[in-house]
């Protein structure tokens, strides 16, 4: 398991092969997404960027939830990019980041990840990461703070303290992972997807849909802590909305909420 040494900015930059990103590293910060949004709102000429922190004091997940991890135990990053798709298709950047993490992890390790609608990363049903996209309009142009957090070296005590035993785990179990090299691989993959989006958004949507463990499985949909729907996840539409068919055969379109997927053996994912 990793000794949780601080992220090495110089080593990361030596491994990064994709030009055009300004890079910032923070030993500790409230949130890389918040810092990215502060940057976007404080400049008249924003540039694409990569922000990495070893500790987030006010990290956030979807639906305003807090997201905490011990120092240097995860990969916490925000990518700042202009949105070059129609706004209703901007979800494809989140989809692209999920695919980028999945592909980079498979290439860099022997671990196969699953994507869960809309923005979670699972390994064998355990949540190992998530993505949070936040929009900013700068001088009339849309920009995205696209943050993601990946568990790298949480131990049993961390999981117990957070109350997530049996629900979450590390990206690659029982293996030391170079966060710097993995991030360089992720950025390389994501940059390829950014280019591919300019050529065929529908191709990326179909690739994302095919990678979703959600589809073709029975799911439970929660709004907060309330179970609002149970049924078969049968598709995602052009705008990324999840389509769930209930037991009466009626289809429901889910734009937001928490979705648990029934896994082999009958248990549901986190």
Q: pLDDT per residue over 214-256, tens digit each?
A: 999 999 999 888 999 999 999 999 999 999 999 999 999 999 8
- What's the pLDDT tens digit per position in 188-212? 999 999 999 999 999 999 999 999 9
- What's the pLDDT tens digit per position in 100-153? 999 999 999 989 999 999 999 999 989 999 999 999 999 999 999 999 999 999
- What's the pLDDT tens digit per position in 129-141? 999 999 999 999 9
DSSP state at residue 89: G
What CATH homologous superfamily does 9-211 map to? Answer: Bira Bifunctional Protein; Domain 2 (3.30.930.10)
Q: Give the separation between CA 234 and CA 214, rounded to whole angstroms.
A: 9
CA atoms within 13 A on the CB side of 3: 1
Query: pLDDT confidence of 68, banded at 50, 70, 90?
Result: low
Residue at token pair 């990363």: 121
User: 218-261 adopts what CATH topology?
Assistant: SH3 type barrels. (2.30.30)
Mean pLDDT calculated for residue range 152-178:
88
pLDDT of residue 59: 61
- Contact criterion met (CB below 8 Å) for 262 and 217: yes
Q: Given a cut of 70, is residue 62 above it in pLDDT?
A: no
Q: Give the separation between CA 159 and CA 153, rounded to whole angstroms.
A: 11
Neighbours of 48 (CB within 10 A): 15
* More confident position, 125 or 68: 125
Domain range summary for the chain, segments of one domain joined by +? 9-211, 218-261
- pTM for the structure as a whole: 0.93
Taking the alpha carbons at both ends of the chain, their separation in whole angstroms is 24
């Amino acid at each position: 398991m990793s000794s949780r040494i601080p992220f090495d900015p110089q080593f990361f930059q030596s491994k990064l092969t994709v030009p055009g990103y300004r890079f910032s590293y923070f030993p500790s910060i409230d949130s890389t997404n918040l810092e990215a949004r502060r940057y976007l709102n404080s400049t008249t000429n924003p540039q694409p960027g990569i922000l990495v922190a070893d500790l987030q004091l006010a990290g956030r997940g979807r639906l305003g939830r807090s997201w905490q991890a011990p120092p240097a135990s995860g990969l916490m990053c925000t990518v700042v990019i202009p949105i070059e798709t129609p706004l209703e298709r901007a979800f494809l950047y989140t989809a692209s980041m999920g695919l980028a993490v999945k592909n980079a992890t498979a290439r860099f390790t022997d671990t196969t990840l699953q994507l869960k609608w809309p923005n979670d990363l699972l390994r064998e049903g355990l949540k190992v990461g998530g993505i949070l996209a936040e929009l900013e309009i700068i001088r009339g142009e849309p920009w995205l703070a696209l943050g993601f957090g990946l568990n790298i070296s949480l131990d049993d005590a961390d999981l117990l303290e957070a109350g997530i035993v049996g629900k979450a785990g590390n990206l690659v179990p029982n293996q030391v992972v170079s966060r710097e090299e993995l991030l360089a691989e992720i950025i390389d993959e994501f940059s390829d997807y950014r280019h591919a989006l300019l050529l065929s958004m529908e191709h990326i949507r179909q690739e994302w849909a095919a990678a979703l463990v959600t589809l073709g499985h029975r799911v439970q949909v929660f709004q907060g802590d309330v179970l609002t729907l149970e049924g078969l996840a049968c598709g995602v539409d052009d705008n990324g909305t999840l389509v769930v068919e209930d037991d009466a055969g009626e289809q429901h379109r889910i734009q937001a909420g928490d979705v648990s997927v029934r896994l082999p053996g009958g248990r549901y994912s986190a």
